[in-house]
Amino acid sequence: MATTLQGKRVAFLAADGVEEVEYTQPREAVEAAGATVELVSVQPGEIRAFNHLDKSRTYAVDVTADKADPDSYDALVLPGGVANPDFLRTDSDAVDFVRAFFTAGKPVGAICHAPWTMIEAGVVRGRTLTSWPSLRTDLTNAGATWVDTECQVDNGLVTSRKPDDLPAFCAKLVEEIGEGRH
């Protein structure tokens, strides 16, 4: 039986430079399972997605991180892209928003470069996760155990390395959101 996320609210935290497929495919997966999704960002208006280094579409921001209430969401998804998490990790409201999900034990999904924001939030120590390979040293220095695998789950935290991992990432993300707090 497929996991249903009916009645669940999921925040996607992203900024300009988000890798488009790492935003759209997980969003489609959680919406298809019945969840309501909101795009949270550091500024109102729109964010610009990219396909690798090429500009792509824009997406409307639903709420800014300084106004978003983490308690009103059941889970958080952090899409990757090189620029996106770099912008997010320099914004204290975005970092606080991320930290709140870990403090509450809510499911979090992060792919590619997204763990940079989690490092800034101080939430990776003692966890096992994967990411784009260039983050290995950053994650290890922050106290995480880095593994090179398509999809890693650690107590409600779902991580993957790259767009090729999206099928496994999306399936596990929906499953972990369905399980709820950890």
β-pair type (75-78, 108-111): parallel
Provide CB contacts within 8 A for 167, sequence distance 6+: none
**Type and span of the H or E element at 169:** helix 166-179
Strand residues in the chain grouped as ranges (E)? 9-13, 18-19, 36-41, 46-51, 54-60, 63-64, 75-78, 108-111, 128-129, 145-146, 151-154, 157-160
3-state secondary structure of 51: strand
Angstrom distance (rounded) from CA 105 to CA 24? 25
Residue 159: is it exposed, middle or buried by C-beta count within 10 angstroms (0-12/13-18/19+)? buried
Active site (annotated) includes residue 52: no
Structure letter (DSSP) for residue 161: S
Angstrom distance (rounded) from CA 181 to CA 104? 8
Indicate which residue of 8, 89, 113, 172 is catalytic.
113
Question: So which residues are the catalytic ones?
Answer: 113
